[in-house]
Amino acid sequence: MQKGWDTGHQEKIEKNGLGAAWNVADIAEGSTVVIFGLGTVGLSVAQGAKLRGASQIIGVDTNPEKHEKAKVFGITHFINPNDFKEPIQQVVKSITNGGADYSFECIGDTGMITTALQSCCDGCGLTVTLGVPKLKPEISAHYGVIVQ
């Protein structure tokens, strides 16, 4: 549990991640999922994706120490952006053969929201943002990426 949080706050965070996987995205069995940020919310999303039967659950985080713990929550692939020269959305598209069915941004970084959008398969992916940006959220994405 995060320092300074009571149990009720922790439960709300976990329900937000799990609830997003079940109720917002309604993850389909056999689908591919990418999660940006493997903190409490991201791991809760991973758990929800695993329970829904996702075939690939990709976790993206710059902290390599989160890899082993993430496996317990259902992460099947771990990507540390610092280990790649190419953009992470290209790495995700390579692993998933064209893009993830679902992406979850759990960091609160507006640049990552754009990356999450671009990590989905063209024309059929769904991106859910759970992270809360510190600044006024503005994302840069082509209209077609958002509407598809």
Superfamily of domain covering 21-132: NAD(P)-binding Rossmann-like Domain (3.40.50.720)
Q: Is the pLDDT of residue 10 over 90?
A: no
Lowest pLDDT segment from 17-26, 46-55, 104-113, 134-143: 134-143
Q: Is the pLDDT of residue 12 over 80?
A: no
Average pLDDT over residues 105-126: 88
pLDDT for the residue 136: 63
Secondary structure of 85-144 as H, E, C letters: CCCHHHHHHHHCCCCECEEEECCCCHHHHHHHHHHECCCCCEEEECCCCCCCCCCCCCHH
CA–CA distance, 25 with 104 (Å, rounded to integer): 9
Average pLDDT over residues 29-50: 95
Report whether 105 contacts 36 (CB < 8 A).
yes
Average pLDDT over residues 44-73: 95
pLDDT for the residue 147: 45
Domain ranges of the chain: 21-132
